[in-house]
Amino acid sequence: MARITASVYTSHVPAIGVALDQGKTQEPYWQPLFAGYEYSKQWMKDNTPDVVFLVYNDHATNFSLELIPTFALGCAAEFPIADEGWGPRPLPTVQGHPELAAHIAQSVIQQDFDLTLCNAMKVDHGLTVPLSLMCDNPPMPGGAWPFKVIPFHVNVVQYPVPSGARCFALGQAIRRAVESFDQDLNVQIWGTGGMSHQLQGARAGLINKAWDNAFLDRLIADPAGLAQVPHIEYVREAGSEGIELVMWLIARGAMADVAGGPAPTLKHRFFHVPASNTAVGHLILENN
Ligand code: DHB
Ligand code: FE
């Protein structure tokens, strides 16, 4: 049986990928941010999964305003690194897990979530920056990521976006799907994006540390309550792009305690302002 062993939550600020690729991680601006992920990189080496189910949003890179799936499951054998305007980042192609993805599609769609299935998809900073933060970038050419990845895109770019409650329920369906797969696989689920940030309009640059930290507290201890927060509160308190945080509720909904199991162990918590225009939050929760 496949099992979800842990969940990881992290922001996915594109400038973090640029800082890594240009060797700027020890510059005074970036050093405190990367220091917050040192524990995480070691934890990943000690707890390398077979597969990461990686919840993220595409930023009008693979999809466009011509076609906007609310929830899109990556079913392909591999996912190329997208060119976001400056050429693709020098990273290995992401290897998928088509068998597990097909099983999740069958199970989750039969649990009444209407997923879009993607048999070809390029992945942008929403997915690659979390990989870079959690793993040392593999040497190029020739390197490979240490696990397979099932990309799962959520529309948080074009309104209307899914509610926190729907995302939380979807996470529970994903857990049931993974646990009914008949191969022994160690699966992690990651939720990415956030924390508070607004890239546009009169409030561009908005950061709300108090709200972000209360979100982290509740994500750990009261996820079902947090899932009831309406999207207007995210937009008002965390900025127009702060709505990315609903994706963290998919990962949290897949944890064992939500289905009556034991509470997870908090292995790591980190919060830092600023990185680019964004508050960076990060958690690692292990199932018991
Ligand atoms: C920024 C943050 C994001 O999450 C994103 O997708 C794009 C830009 C930023 O801080 O600039
Ligand atoms: Fe983003």
40-75 pLDDT, tens digit per residue, is: 999 999 999 999 999 999 999 999 999 999 999 999
Relative to the alpha carbon of 197, which ligand is closest?
A: 1
Best residue among 12, 200, 241 to mutate for probing ligand 1, ranked by most atoms within 8 Å of CB: 241
Domain architecture of the chain: domains with CATH: 3-286 (3.40.830.10)
CA nearest ligand 1 atom 5, residue: 13
Task: State whether the beta carbon of 197 lies less than 6 angstroms from ligand 1.
Answer: yes
Contacting residues for 46 by C-beta, under 8 A, at least 6 apart: none
Tell me, what's the pLDDT at 8?
99
Is the shortest distance between the CB of 156 and ligand 1 below 6 Å?
Answer: no
Ligand 2 centre to CA of 241 (Å) is 7
Q: What order of strands is seen across the sheet that includes strand 116-118?
A: 116-118, 71-74, 148-154, 51-56, 186-192, 3-10, 278-286, 265-275
Q: Ligand 1, from 124, 157, 196, 197: best to mutate by most atoms within 8 Å of Cβ? A: 197
CA of 194 to the centre of ligand 1 (A): 8
Active site annotation includes 59: no
* pLDDT tens, residue by residue, 198-243: 999 999 999 999 999 999 999 999 999 999 999 999 999 999 999 9
pLDDT at position 77 is 98
197 included as an active-site residue? yes
Q: Residue 18: its pLDDT value, please?
A: 96
Mutate to test the pocket of ligand 1, among 11, 13, 247, 248 (most ligand atoms within 8 A of CB): 13
Does ligand 1 come within 6 angstroms of the Cβ of 264? no
- Output the pLDDT for position 180: 98
Is the four-CA dihedral 109, 115, 120, 126 of positive or negative sign?
Answer: negative
Q: Does residue 196 line the site of ligand 1, with CB under 6 A?
A: no
Rounded Cα distance between 9 and 23, Å, is 24
Q: Which positions of the chain have pLDDT values less than 70? A: none
CA dist., res. 219 & res. 148, Å (int): 26
Cα 57 to ligand 2 centroid, rounded to whole Å: 7
Instruction: Please enumerate in sequence order all residues whose Cβ is within 8 A of that of 27, keeping only pairs 6 or more positions apart, or say none.
Output: 19
With a 6 Å cutoff on the Cβ, whether 277 touches ligand 1 is: yes
